[in-house]
Amino acid sequence: MAKVTSKLQVTVPKVIAERYGIKPGDEIEWVEAGESIRVVPARGVTPALDMESRLRLFDAATERQRARKAAGRHPKNPNERGWTRRDLYDRDRAR
């Protein structure tokens, strides 16, 4: 059993940390589960998606990109963006 400190910190028992591969500096998630709380190690690895899900996400991203280009948000030439670096330095100065 672990105690909560005055700073609302909790120590993960060593046996549990070793079993689940939790190391100092790792992040954990606190998930509400009805009347209890689940502690879940946050992993940087996203779960693998099946081919159909991956294709659906790719198609959606492609469609968003086409919509952006159609709206004119991406000029063909990046130098034609409507402003220059010099404008950034002069915009807050009195003219």
Reported as a single tens digit per residue, the pLDDT across 12-65 is: 899 888 888 888 888 888 889 889 998 887 765 455 678 888 899 999 999 998
Per-residue confidence (pLDDT) for residue 95, from 0 to 100: 55
Per-residue confidence (pLDDT) for residue 45, from 0 to 100: 45
Q: Are 30 and 39 in contact (CB under 8 A)?
A: yes
Q: Which strand (E) or helix (H) includes residue 85?
A: helix 85-90
Written as six digits, the tokens of 2 are 């672990």
Per-residue confidence (pLDDT) for residue 61, from 0 to 100: 93
Neighbours of 41 (CB within 10 A): 14
The torsion region of residue 72 among left (phi > 0), alpha (psi -120 to 50) and beta comes to left
Q: Cα separation of 56 and 5, whole Å?
A: 47
